[in-house]
């Protein structure tokens, strides 16, 4: 009986489990949702980096996934737009390979030199309902439109065209009261002393090229000189960096820089002396103009800026803060003309010892190293920003100019060639740099201003850098000019000539024009073509005497 009872229980037990197993097999297994992720992104046939450059304007993008995609979620997941928000492209997509590949293509060409962003957001789902676990944000910059934006001109006509358009900054946009140059195109009443000096030299080029008449130029100079003599505030004869173009009152350049700026004053005097030599006839108006310019020059107390009879000139002095800026003017930089004018002053001269010890630092301003295989006689490594070879040399003729420290023709040429080679070598791999896109100098940059150089390269090119280097690198500068005008002209060449700066790498183009960048384009192109301002400034008796006094030699001395 026990055995029967045992087998009955066993049979029942097995029957129970047999019924349970049969019931489970009759139900399909529950399907879990699986997450989806991107396994690769192709642009055309190549893997796409997070940032791409020089992308065709009709691109195609392929996204591969580890799971089939829920096709109903694709449209809302794709975000495709320009970075500036002004050009959202039209596109279409197709799905393939069992819904595990999405191909996105534009249905109309994108804009050239425009930055776009292509993203997939979290609304994308897998076919099983799983969430999207990848992060996909791709940005790219489209290619340069290589078509010519303007009719072709002869090289000579192109140089004149650029000079004339740039000249408008100083003629049409000169301050209506003082005639002085505004600091930039958004400056209102704020005018700049150094930029005005450069602009006066541009004015002389405008007369010579027939952009204005000699009488018009004379009248503008009379306005400027009258303002400087009767309204502009002076400090021991020197002018401030900035002033109000209507009243002559100083506008602080910085908190403590609210008085004399000796370097900016020297740029102004350089322009004035060049104009004095240009208006050399015996008409009463010309005689008076020359006399007033000489008075302005002779009123500058250059020796007072030695700061208690020291052996170096100081850049700033403030009636409120005295010498607190504490910036001695030492070479090598853009300030050679400051020492030349100080040495040549008939009333307040400095000695050759000041030049040798203060400026040249008894030879410590020499460099002598080679960069890109190019020897650099003076200055900082790689030469620094190109304005160092422009500002003083708008007037000082470097051709054949030598002293105990350098051959200045060689110095400036080598400096420009090093700067050019930096763009050729492009160690920072900025998009767009080439033998036609080069030149680092002080200029606006996105959200600021900096003195760009090979050692401070922000990917921003200033047209003035290559164009004001025409006397040193004529072939390289012409290649840049043609590219800026013909290829990039729709973005760069505006009402006052070339905009201040641009970055192909960031698709950024300044909306600004600066006096100290526009004038060197006009003046140095003219010095390259005819030597006009070189001949005029170097002919001034005070300048010739100063250069000889300081130990310079040159064919024109």
Mean pLDDT score, 70-80: 95
pLDDT over threshold 70, residue 83: yes
Kindly give the residue spans of alpha helices, DSSP state H, lying in 301-346. 336-344
pLDDT over threshold 50, residue 21: no
Domain contains 19: no
Same domain? For 128 and 203 the reply is: no
Exposure of 24 by Cβ count < 10 A (0-12 exposed, 13-18 middle, 19+ buried)?
Answer: exposed
Domain contains 13: no
Q: Tell me, what's the pLDDT at 465?
A: 98
Same domain? For 114 and 185 the reply is: no
Q: Tell me, what's the pLDDT at 135?
A: 83
Q: Tell me, what's the pLDDT at 73?
A: 96
pLDDT over threshold 70, residue 342: yes
Same domain? For 279 and 389 the reply is: yes
Q: Measured between alpha carbons, how far is 278 from 255 in angstroms, rounded to an integer? A: 38
Summarised one tens digit per residue, pLDDT across range 195-246 is 999 999 999 999 999 999 999 999 999 999 999 999 999 999 999 999 999 9
Mean pLDDT score, 440-467: 98
pLDDT over threshold 50, residue 418: yes
Range scoring the smallest mean pLDDT among 21-35, 36-50, 187-201, 409-423: 21-35
Summarised one tens digit per residue, pLDDT across range 491-541 is 999 999 999 999 999 999 999 999 999 999 999 999 999 999 999 999 999
Confidence of residue 31 (pLDDT cuts 50, 70, 90): low
In the DSSP assignment, the letter for residue 314 is: B
Domain boundary among 115, 142, 169: 142
Summarised one tens digit per residue, pLDDT across range 186-209 is 999 999 999 999 999 999 999 999
Domain boundary among 116, 142, 168: 142
Domain contains 555: no
The answer to whether residues 466 and 488 touch, using CB atoms and an 8 Å cutoff, is: no
Task: Give just the sign of the alpha carbon dihedral 407, 413, 414, 419.
Answer: positive
pLDDT over threshold 80, residue 317: yes
Domain contains 23: no
Same domain? For 131 and 160 the reply is: no
Same domain? For 440 and 536 the reply is: yes
The answer to whether residues 245 and 182 touch, using CB atoms and an 8 Å cutoff, is: yes
Q: Tell me, what's the pLDDT at 6?
A: 37
Residue of 28 and 450 predicted with greater confidence: 450
Confidence of residue 311 (pLDDT cuts 50, 70, 90): very high
pLDDT over threshold 80, residue 26: no
Mean pLDDT score, 25-31: 50
Residue 107 sits in a domain whose CATH number is: 2.60.40.1220
pLDDT over threshold 50, residue 550: yes
**Three-state SS string across 3-38, please?**
HHHHHHHHHHHHHHHHHHHHHHHCCCCCCCCCCECE
% of the chain at pLDDT higher than 90: 93
Q: Measured between alpha carbons, how far is 476 from 259 in angstroms, rounded to an integer? A: 40
Same domain? For 442 and 419 the reply is: yes
Query: Which residues are CB-neighbours of 447 under 8 A, at least 6 positions away?
Result: none
The side-by-side arrangement of strands in the sheet containing 101-106 is 46-47, 38-43, 60-65, 101-106, 91-96
Summarised one tens digit per residue, pLDDT across range 234-279 is 999 999 999 999 999 999 999 999 999 999 999 999 999 999 999 9
Q: Tell me, what's the pLDDT at 1?
A: 40
Same domain? For 113 and 189 the reply is: no
* Mean pLDDT over each residue of the chain, to the nearest integer: 94
Q: Tell me, what's the pLDDT at 17?
A: 38
Same domain? For 369 and 294 the reply is: yes
Domain contains 538: yes
Mean pLDDT score, 462-491: 98
Domain contains 493: yes
Same domain? For 318 and 228 the reply is: yes
Same domain? For 160 and 136 the reply is: no
Domain contains 161: yes
Same domain? For 356 and 415 the reply is: yes
Residue 390 sits in a domain whose CATH number is: 1.50.10.140
pTM of the predicted protein model = 0.91
Confidence of residue 160 (pLDDT cuts 50, 70, 90): very high
Same domain? For 522 and 396 the reply is: yes
Q: Tell me, what's the pLDDT at 15?
A: 41
Mean pLDDT score, 485-492: 98
Confidence of residue 281 (pLDDT cuts 50, 70, 90): very high
% of the chain at pLDDT higher than 70: 94
Number of domains in the chain: 2
Summarised one tens digit per residue, pLDDT across range 98-144 is 999 999 999 999 999 999 999 999 999 999 999 999 989 999 999 99
Domain span at 362: 155-549
Domain contains 388: yes
Kindly give the residue spans of alpha helices, DSSP state H, lying in 112-254. 155-171, 193-208, 214-230
State the distance between the two ends of the chain, measured CA to CA, in whole angstroms: 140
């Amino acid at each position: 009986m026990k055995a029967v009872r045992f087998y009955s229980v066993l049979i029942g037990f097995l029957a129970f489990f047999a019924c349970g197993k049969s019931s489970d097999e009759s139900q399909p297994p529950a399907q879990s949702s699986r997450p989806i992720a991107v396994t690769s992104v192709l642009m055309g046939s190549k893997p796409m980096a997070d940032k791409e450059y020089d992308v065709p304007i009709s691109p195609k993008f392929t996204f591969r996934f580890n799971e089939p995609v829920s096709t109903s979620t694709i449209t809302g997941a794709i975000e495709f737009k320009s970075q500036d928000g002004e050009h959202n492209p039209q596109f279409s997509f197709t799905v393939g390979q069992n819904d595990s590949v999405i191909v996105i293509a534009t249905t109309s060409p994108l804009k050239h030199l425009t930055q776009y962003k292509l993203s997939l957001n979290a609304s994308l789902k897998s076919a099983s309902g799983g969430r999207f676990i990848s992060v996909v944000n791709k940005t790219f910059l489209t290619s340069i439109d290589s078509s010519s934006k303007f009719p072709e001109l002869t090289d000579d006509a192109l140089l004149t065209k650029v000079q004339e358009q740039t000249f408008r900054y100083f003629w049409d946009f000169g301050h209506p009261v003082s005639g002085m140059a505004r600091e930039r195109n958004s400056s209102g009443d704020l005018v700049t002393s150094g930029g005005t000096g450069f602009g006066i030299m541009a004015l002389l080029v405008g007369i010579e090229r027939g952009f204005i008449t000699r009488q018009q130029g004379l009248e503008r100079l009379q306005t400027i000189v009258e303002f400087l003599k009767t309204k502009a505030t002076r400090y021991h004869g020197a002018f401030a960096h900035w002033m109000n173009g209507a009243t002559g009152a100083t506008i602080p350049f910085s908190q403590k820089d609210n008085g004399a700026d000796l370097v900016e004053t020297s740029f102004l005097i350089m322009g004035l002396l060049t104009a004095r030599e240009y208006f050399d006839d015996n008409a009463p108006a010309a005689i008076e103009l020359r006399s007033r310019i000489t008075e302005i020059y002779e009123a500058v107390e250059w020796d007072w800026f030695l700061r208690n009879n020291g052996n170096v000139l100081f850049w700033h002095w403030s009636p409120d803060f005295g010498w607190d800026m504490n910036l001695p003017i030492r070479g090598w930089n853009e300030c050679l003309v400051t020492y030349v004018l100080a040495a040549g002053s008939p009333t307040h001269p400095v000695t050759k010892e000041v030049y040798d010890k203060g400026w040249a630092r008894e030879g410590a301003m020499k460099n002598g190293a080679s960069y890109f295989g190019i020897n650099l006689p003076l200055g900082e490594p790689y030469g620094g920003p190109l304005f160092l070879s422009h500002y003083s040399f708008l007037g000082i003729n470097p051709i054949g100019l030598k002293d105990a420290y350098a051959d200045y023709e060689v110095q400036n040429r080598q400096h420009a060639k090093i700067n050019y080679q930096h763009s050729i070598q492009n160690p920072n791999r900025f998009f767009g740099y080439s033998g036609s896109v080069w030149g680092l100098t002080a200029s606006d940059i996105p959200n600021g201003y900096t003195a760009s150089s090979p050692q401070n390269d922000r990917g921003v090119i200033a047209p003035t850098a290559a164009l004001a280097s025409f006397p040193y690198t004529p072939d390289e500068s012409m290649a840049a000019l043609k590219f800026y005008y013909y290829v990039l002209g729709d973005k760069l060449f505006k009402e006052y000539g070339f905009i201040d700066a641009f970055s192909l790498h960031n698709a950024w183009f300044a909306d600004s024009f600066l006096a100290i960048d526009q004038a060197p384009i006009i003046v140095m192109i003219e010095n390259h073509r005819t030597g006009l301002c070189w001949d005029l400034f170097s002919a001034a008796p005070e300048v010739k005497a100063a250069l000889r006094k300081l130990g310079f030699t040159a064919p024109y001395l």
